[in-house]
Amino acid sequence: MIDLSPTQQVSHWLTAFEQALAKGDVAQAAAMFDADSYWRDLVAFTWNIKTCEGQAAIADMLGTVLAGVQPSNWRLEGEASQANGLTEAWFTFETATARGLGQLRLKGDKCWTLLTTMAELKDFPERKGPARALGTVHGVVRGRKNWLDHKTEEEATLGYSRQPYCLIIGGGQCGIALAARLRRLDVPTIVIERQARAGDSWRNRYKSLCLHDPVWYDHLPYLPFPDDWPVFAPKDKIGDWLEMYTKVMEINYWASTECKSAQYDEAAGQWTVNVERAGQPVTLRPTQLVLATGIASFPNLVRFPGAERFKGVQHHSSRHPGGDGYAGKDCIVIGSNNSAHDISADLWEHGANVTMVQRSSTLVAKSETLMELGLGDLYSERALSNGISTDKADLIFASLPYKVLPALQVPVYQEMARRDADLYERLKKVGFKLDFGEDDSGVFMKAVRRGGGYYIDVGASELVATGKIKLKSGVTVKEIKEHSVLFSDGTELPADLIVYATGYGSMDGWIAQLISQQVADKVGLCWGLGSGTTKDPGPWEGELRNMWKPTRQPGLWLHGGNLHLSRHYSQFLALQLKARMENLPTPVYGMSPVPQTA
């Protein structure tokens, strides 16, 4: 038997797979997958974000969608590679309506993981490259309108004499990234934001806030940060970038605008959304409504007994301006996640007497260690030098199904525990409760499971370990008095300031507030995988619930996450919306049969 090179092996598999699909032989196609296999599809086959686990699930999906999808032209892209018993390759393909890009991993001659993604709609590509606008009409044209005339007219009419097809509520990075993609697809869109300017959702946070993720992880679509951009961007710099981005990408951005109510007309297939724009009521009637308020925009307001009689200052971390003016003051920060650490460190730097209250264990990962072990192969200067662009890194990360990620992450955090053992031991000595997640799989899995607090350490852990930031751990707040806080262990601390770094509620809370509890119940939980961990009840869904894909409320979509998730998944959400605007068939495969409620 002739040994095949990795490239020949992949080409052989793709050819055989294409032939099986062309014949409609679902059983033969499914048999080309390993018994322990995963097919993750981002819109291309399922008009959904769906992972099929195992041959039976893959066969069911193909048997349902194959006739409509009509996949063809599976072509190897570049050379295949081989390492650690796996053969990996990129490929392109087509469906009846779209062009796609995918990634394949083989174990022997069987597929272990398959990623298929929709790259563009054949008949409705983005306005880019050869499809870009000319920008002018050459020659002499009497009464012509220039670019500014057209822009001014659009801003004056959209939302008034003509309605947007899509309305995005939330003008932070999530809403802006999606709106930029929709703009390039010619989808009439309005973004509404309560803040006075684009970027103010960042500017109005506490003064010391910087991104904890490195710059290579945080680009927005189409316009990467300049190559002299700081590795960890300050919040005001991000605010300026977002404001610039909305202008350069020509986004219809309604600042100082608040959504008052939204109702869906089933018969008309249309929303009625009442907003207040700069103090004036406006009624919008979009076909599609996107909540892009993020997973960290709904403050979890904890009210402890006696809080109403506190004589000092108290507020949620989202409203904390910074440590100015608190020199010599007694400050208590309730919580132990990123915001709690940042705020505590900032207060200490301004001369305050700070105590952090840790109510439950916290994952701590030193930023430089996380960059090296967790992100460096995909998002770093090293990755770029190896030919891995941000877009390619996104696809590599997306090619790993959520089911296999924990096992891949555990060794990373074992190595982190070894490298940073000294810090962890010193934190434990002062009583700080540490974890790496319920199964030791780290930050990302903890985040997607709604799994509680974590801190990407950019310096505050050393202050905690040395006692400069004092710690109360393993206790709860029993009562807040006029000038102090009483804890469950009977101790009492004086307080001039209380900051509630108590996190944020789920996006289903936004649905209930902006639309109705009935619709929130219909949609079910947002975020989480159904992993069966403490804050992520089952059943297992294999993808983040209700994010970037159809929900059980027609015309309602959810878009959230950090800059990386916002950038990557905005592509697939935009394509789904564009297809519906153009009345393309979009049969959704694999929606959760029963919404889960908290």
pLDDT at 109: 94
- The whole-angstrom separation of Cα 217 and Cα 566 is 11
Mean pLDDT within 187-196? 96
Q: Give the sheet arrangement for strand 470-473, strand by strand.
A: 313-316, 497-500, 330-334, 353-358, 470-473
| 405 shares a domain with 345 | yes
Q: Residue 259: which H helix or E strand, with range?
A: strand 257-265
pLDDT at 594 over 90: no
pLDDT digits (tens, 9 = 90+) for 50-95: 999 999 999 999 999 999 999 999 999 999 999 999 999 999 999 9
Residue 142 within any structural domain of the chain: no
- The whole-angstrom separation of Cα 31 and Cα 110 is 8
pTM for this prediction? 0.95
- The whole-angstrom separation of Cα 55 and Cα 57 is 6
| 213 shares a domain with 68 | no
pLDDT at 323 over 80: yes
By C-alpha distance, which of 442, 572, 420, 577 is closest to 40?
A: 572
Mean pLDDT within 383-399? 94
**Cβ pair 537, 596 in contact under 8 A:** yes
Enter the tokens of residue 127: 């306005």
pLDDT digits (tens, 9 = 90+) for 269-300: 999 999 999 999 999 999 999 999 876 557 78
By C-alpha distance, which of 514, 522, 517, 592 is closest to 554?
A: 522
| 280 shares a domain with 168 | yes
List the beta strands (DSSP E) in 196-256.
253-254
pLDDT digits (tens, 9 = 90+) for 406-447: 999 999 999 999 999 999 999 999 999 999 998 999 999 998
Q: 3-state SS of the chain: helix, strand, coil percent to 5?
A: 35, 25, 40
Residue 101 within any structural domain of the chain: yes
Least confident of 242-246, 290-294, 313-317, 389-393: 290-294
Tell me which of 463, 479, 500 is where a domain ends: 500
| 348 shares a domain with 485 | yes
Residue 328 within any structural domain of the chain: yes
Q: Residue 433: which H helix or E strand, with range?
A: none
| 175 shares a domain with 46 | no
pLDDT grade, residue 474 (50/70/90)? confident
pLDDT grade, residue 505 (50/70/90)? confident
By C-alpha distance, which of 234, 455, 452 is closest to 366?
A: 455
Q: Please provide residue 418's backbone torsions phi and psi, each rounded to the nearest 5 degrees.
A: -70, -45
pLDDT digits (tens, 9 = 90+) for 95-115: 999 999 999 999 999 999 999
pLDDT at 142: 85
Mean pLDDT within 446-469? 91
Q: What CATH number should be reported for the domain holding residue 25?
A: 3.10.450.50
Mean pLDDT within 314-336? 94
pLDDT at 530: 92
Residue 476 within any structural domain of the chain: yes
Spatial CB neighbours of 143, under 8 Å, sequence gap ≥ 6: none
CA distances to 549, 593, 597 from 508, rounded to whole Å, are 15, 18, 9
**Mean of pLDDT over the chain:** 94
Tell me which of 467, 483, 500 is where a domain ends: 500
pLDDT at 1: 42
pLDDT digits (tens, 9 = 90+) for 507-536: 888 899 899 999 999 999 999 999 998 889
| 89 shares a domain with 165 | no
Residue 140 within any structural domain of the chain: no
- The whole-angstrom separation of Cα 562 and Cα 213 is 9
CA distances to 8, 50, 51, 331, 340 from 327, rounded to whole Å, are 68, 52, 53, 10, 18
pLDDT at 158: 97
| 325 shares a domain with 407 | yes
- The whole-angstrom separation of Cα 115 and Cα 247 is 34
| 317 shares a domain with 179 | no
| 262 shares a domain with 113 | no
Mean pLDDT within 154-167? 96
Burial track 243-258 (b if 16+ CB lie within 10 A, e otherwise) = bebbeebebbbbbebe
Tell me which of 467, 485, 500 is where a domain ends: 500
Residue 137 within any structural domain of the chain: no
| 436 shares a domain with 460 | yes
pLDDT at 501: 93
pLDDT grade, residue 131 (50/70/90)? confident
**Cβ pair 502, 343 in contact under 8 A:** no
Q: What CATH number should be reported for the domain holding residue 550?
A: 3.50.50.60
Residue 147 within any structural domain of the chain: no
Residue 108: helix, strand or coil by DSSP? coil
How many domains is the chain built from? 3
| 448 shares a domain with 364 | yes
**Antiparallel, parallel or unpaired: β 497-500 and 313-316:** parallel
Give the number of other Cβ atoms within 10 Å of residue 100's Cβ: 24
**Percent of the chain, pLDDT > 70?**
98
Full residue range of the structural domain in which residue 62 is found: 6-121
Residue 597 within any structural domain of the chain: no
Burial track 170-183 (b if 16+ CB lie within 10 A, e otherwise) = bbbbbbbbbbbbbb
pLDDT at 559 over 50: yes
Q: Please provide residue 387's backbone torsions phi and psi, each rounded to the nearest 5 degrees.
A: 85, 15
- The whole-angstrom separation of Cα 479 and Cα 494 is 12
- Degrees (nearest 5) of the Cα angle 327, 331, 334? 150
Which has more pLDDT, 592 or 382? Answer: 382
| 330 shares a domain with 224 | no
